[in-house]
Amino acid sequence: MLGKKLVTAQKRGETRALCLGLGMVACSMMMYFFIGITIVPFYTKSVWTTETMCKVLKANIKDKVLCPDGEGSEDKDIFPYPCLQVWVNLTASGQEVMLYQTEDTLERNPKCSYVPGKSENSKEVKARIETIASNFKKYQTFPCYYDPGGTQPNVILSRLYPPKGLLFAFLWPTLLFTGGCLIIVLVKISQYVSVLSAWQ
């Protein structure tokens, strides 16, 4: 009687562990799919892949300029903010080009180097942009990214999804998938050993 109870408890534990392993594998597959349709397209679409050094030539703030939040935006997405324009000397080619914060900045507003988030407090936005401009004037030389193919003449300060960020995004689903597979393998080994012991 006690042996039957132990076998039943063991089977329940194996079933739960097997469900846990399968659930982990399923969750990791969903995470892979989500990363594949969100982060990977932005990474592959970016042409600013080569890092070089940029030297600031001028950083101007055009105050009281209405900058749209992306072309074709509705009226509610248009708000005024100081337009910061940073021009740099590209070390790789020696050209004078405009600097943007990220790839998204160029898409949202090609006239400005920095596009702030929507904020009701215009004073905070103005102070932030002035701080950014002063930092560019203070730190004249810094690393930036340019398009080696020449399709984009401008440069960006940082990539939205650099290679390290992409690898980090794939790290967690990979660990989840590996852990789930390991649990399933251990359960199968335990079941095989149990059947082998019973047969003997």
pLDDT in tens, 12-24: 777 888 889 999 9
* 133 and 75 together in one domain: yes
* 109 and 194 together in one domain: no
* 143 and 172 together in one domain: no
Residue 82 CB-density burial (10 A; 0-12 exposed, 13-18 middle, 19+ buried) = buried
> Does residue 162 have a pLDDT over 80?
yes
- Which residue(s) pair with 59 in the sheet? 86
Selection from 5-14, 59-68, 112-121, 168-177 with the highest mean pLDDT? 168-177
Mean pLDDT of 19-37: 92
- Report the mean per-residue pLDDT for the chain: 82
Number of domains into which the chain is organized: 2
* 67 and 143 together in one domain: yes
| Domain interval for residue 194 | 163-199
Please report which residue ranges of the chain form alpha helices under DSSP H.
2-45, 103-108, 122-138, 163-199
* 147 and 168 together in one domain: no
* 133 and 183 together in one domain: no
8 Å CB contact between 91 and 101: no
* 176 and 141 together in one domain: no
Structure tokens at 45: 């679409």
- pTM of this prediction? 0.69
* 128 and 180 together in one domain: no
8 Å CB contact between 48 and 152: yes
